[in-house]
């Protein structure tokens, strides 16, 4: 009865390693802000989808969960950058609607995952810092949402562009943690990130931005090593983002990161593809009764 998501070599853990064209969406997109017309078209005509990228436990070499990622497509434009779509949705007051769509997709996908796999698993969702507000209906809804047993919900909050952790963010975070939703710092170490963010609250997870793992020299490695130790001392799970090479994976393992994510370990794929991949690993034989 093998229901575990295992692999001897994490480089072989899941899906193909090459930079598949299927993820070009995370990087391409029109330049300049998206128009209202494009935004409403993708929302109304099924142009928005959710992709799932595996997160790997570095020591046990197993999938521990997935990050649900926004993907969007328009017939004239092609793939739309999620960053541009989120920006436009926020500008037009439609970000909560977009977020709900992704979370609903993630919830129904995890219902099927639970029918295939018995292990405790995590689902990571993304929220903008601006969505953390006191008495925020989206947060209340998420905190009360019913998930399958043993699915931990982790809300990733990007610290990109944030100045400091404000009381209103804490109020929103408390709604989530009261509903057993864990909180993660996303893109930690990117751009103008602040160390004060890390110490602002008891983050369950901190995801280290992929920039920190590119072009790592001796000094950078010292910083990363101490960062991992710092996170461990704070009881936060450390996740290395954007692992694309075996060399980066070796480094991440050597530095003692808890978890890792990146094209090497698994591309973001549509829900049905992710579920088919789980089923192909024989997991369908271990259906929960």
- Interface contacts to Mn ion, rule CB under 5 A: 126, 156, 186
Is the CB of 156 or the CB of 204 nearer to Mn ion? 156
Is the CB of 126 or the CB of 281 nearer to ligand G? 126
Q: How far is the CB of 240 from ligand G (least distance, A)?
A: 10
Is the CB of 157 or the CB of 283 nearer to ligand G? 157
Could you say which of Mn ion, ligand G, none residue 277 binds, taking C-beta under 5 to 8 angstroms by partner kind? none
Could you say which of ligand G, Mn ion, none residue 71 binds, taking C-beta under 5 to 8 angstroms by partner kind? none
Could you say which of Mn ion, ligand G, none residue 262 binds, taking C-beta under 5 to 8 angstroms by partner kind? ligand G
Q: How far is the CB of 39 from ligand G (least distance, A)?
A: 18
d(CA 234, CA 257): 14
Both structure tokens of 255: 């530095």
Could you say which of Mn ion, ligand G, none residue 268 binds, taking C-beta under 5 to 8 angstroms by partner kind? ligand G
Q: What residues contact residue 64 under an 8 Å CB cut-off, 6+ apart? A: 55, 56, 57, 121, 122, 259
Contact 51, 269 (CB under 8 A): yes
d(CA 245, CA 167): 40
d(CA 47, CA 79): 9
Q: How far is the CB of 98 from ligand G (least distance, A)?
A: 14
Could you say which of Mn ion, ligand G, none residue 286 binds, taking C-beta under 5 to 8 angstroms by partner kind? none
Q: How far is the CB of 82 from ligand G (least distance, A)?
A: 6
Contact 55, 66 (CB under 8 A): yes
User: CA-CA distances (angstroms) from residue 258 to 84, 202, 211, 216, 239?
Assistant: 31, 17, 18, 19, 6
Q: Which residues bind ligand G (CB under 6 A)?
A: 23, 26, 53, 69, 82, 126, 158, 186-187, 210, 241-244, 262-263, 268
d(CA 187, CA 190): 6
């Amino acid at each position: 009865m093998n229901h575990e998501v295992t692999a001897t070599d994490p480089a072989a853990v899941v899906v193909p390693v090459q930079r598949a064209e299927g993820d070009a969406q995370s990087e391409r997109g029109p330049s300049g802000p998206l128009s209202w017309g494009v935004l409403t078209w993708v929302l109304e005509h099924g142009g928005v989808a959710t992709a799932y990228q595996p997160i790997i436990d570095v020591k046990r070499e197993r999938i521990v969960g997935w990050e649900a990622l926004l993907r969007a497509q328009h017939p004239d434009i092609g793939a739309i950058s999620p960053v541009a779509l989120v920006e436009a949705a926020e500008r037009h007051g439609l970000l909560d609607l977009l977020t709900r769509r992704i979370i609903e997709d993630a919830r129904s996908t995890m219902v099927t995952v639970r029918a295939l796999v018995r292990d405790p698993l995590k689902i990571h969702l993304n929220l903008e810092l601006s969505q953390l507000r006191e008495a925020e209906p989206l947060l209340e809804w998420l905190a009360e949402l019913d998930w399958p047993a043993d699915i931990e919900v982790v809300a990733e909050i990007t610290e990109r562009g944030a100045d400091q952790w404000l009381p209103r963010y804490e109020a929103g975070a408390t709604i989530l943690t009261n509903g057993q939703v864990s909180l993660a710092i996303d893109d930690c170490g990117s751009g103008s990130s602040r160390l004060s963010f890390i110490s602002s609250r008891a983050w369950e997870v901190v995801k280290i931005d992929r920039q920190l793992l590119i072009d790592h020299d001796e000094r950078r490695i010292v910083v990363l090593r101490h960062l991992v130790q710092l996170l461990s001392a704070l009881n936060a799970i450390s996740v290395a983002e954007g692992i694309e090479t075996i060399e980066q994976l070796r480094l991440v393992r050597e530095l003692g990161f808890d978890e890792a994510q990146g094209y090497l370990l698994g591309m973001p794929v549509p829900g049905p593809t992710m579920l088919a991949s789980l089923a192909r690993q024989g997991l369908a034989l271990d259906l929960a009764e």
